[in-house]
Amino acid sequence: MAKRFKAAVIGGSGYGGGELIRRLLLHPHVELVRVASVDFIGEPLSAAHPHLEGLTDLKFEGITPAEAAAGMDVVLLGLPHKVSATKMPELIASGARVVDLSGDFRLRDAALYKRYYHADHPCADRLTDGSFVYGLPELHREKIKTAKYVASPGCFATTIELALLPLAKAGLLSGAVEVVGITGSSGSGVVPSAGTHHPVRAVNLRTYKPLDHQHIPEITQTLHDAGAKDVEIRFVPVSAPLSRGIFATCFAHVPDSASADRIKALYKDAYAKEPFVRVPEKRQPEVAAVSGTNFAEIGVQIGSDEAEAGKRVVACFAVTDNLIKGGAGQAIQSMNIMLGVDEKTSLEDPGGWP
């Protein structure tokens, strides 16, 4: 039986591209037609992704964005930041729907883009004209349904936003929010670097870009959209000896008129009907429970704020797999919503344990 939709992946040789390909090969309604890359041209997909050996006859193609998009219902981009934006005019002209995994179209402020990505945006008008919908289904599902172009969120951003969204939606989130996010090495991409070299990474914890990570304005923008007021995200990312996974701890300060029971109920209610967000009742979130899956886990602990009268502190914990819910899986989830198929399609596997 023929599949209903046709898809192409551009930038398919990286870790995110491999996860896009894997999920599309499993998809009952979407046929993966072609994979474009500047690496491994003419070679089978298993040259970059050994776990796909024997699953497809597709090969990496050195083709233009227009050639990749020709006849496609949707194109998914696994390109680096600052590269994706240069390809977008050609893709928009193709008429295909686009889901972009880079950070190039997440922000609505070109000045912030230049500040955090260290480059002028090549098509800044697309940041402000409403072309791109921010692809966080838990906040923008209805907008994604009718979107032509989706900017899929970053891995840290997804995790931290899910931790804080219930407070933002309830109007309880304002002022400084302190965040520490611990991440695995695959978030740095397939090309080795000093920060991902195994002999150092495997025995180490270290921070990078403290208080200056490029996901900070993305998180701030999203929380404001959800109902937060004057939020300042103070974020310290930490490299950890993991291949996959993010663990974020967020400290928010809310009015003590919001009882502990109310706050816990906010989290339970916010995610009760979300297919990929779990709020465990008998334990706190842990990376191994979501590794290899599109699920996120959220936990919350409420205490008093000894430093500020009239406030209580809320410690929010969130975990994701940075390559799936924090990357390719969430992009597939948005793609499903755009195409009008069950958003859980090809994403429901629970992963393994431990």
Residues annotated as catalytic (active site), given as ranges: 155
Residue 38, Cβ neighbours under 10 Å: how many? 12
DSSP letter for 278, please: E
Using CA atoms, how far residue 55 sits from 9, 22, 26, 45, 305, in Å, is 16, 9, 10, 9, 55
Both structure tokens of 15: 């870790």
| Residue at token pair 């990749």 | 68
Closest by CA position to 258, among listed 179, 169, 162, 167? 167
Contact between 334 and 135 under an 8 Å Cβ cutoff? The reply is yes
* Beta-carbon-side half-sphere exposure of residue 65 (alpha carbons within 13 Å): 24
Give the containing element (helix H, strand E) for 326.
none
DSSP string, 74-132: EEEE-PPTTTHHHHHHHHHHHT-EEEE-SSTTT-S-HHHHHHHHSS--TTTHHHHSS-E
3-state secondary structure of 198: helix
Closest by CA position to 302, among listed 267, 272, 341? 267
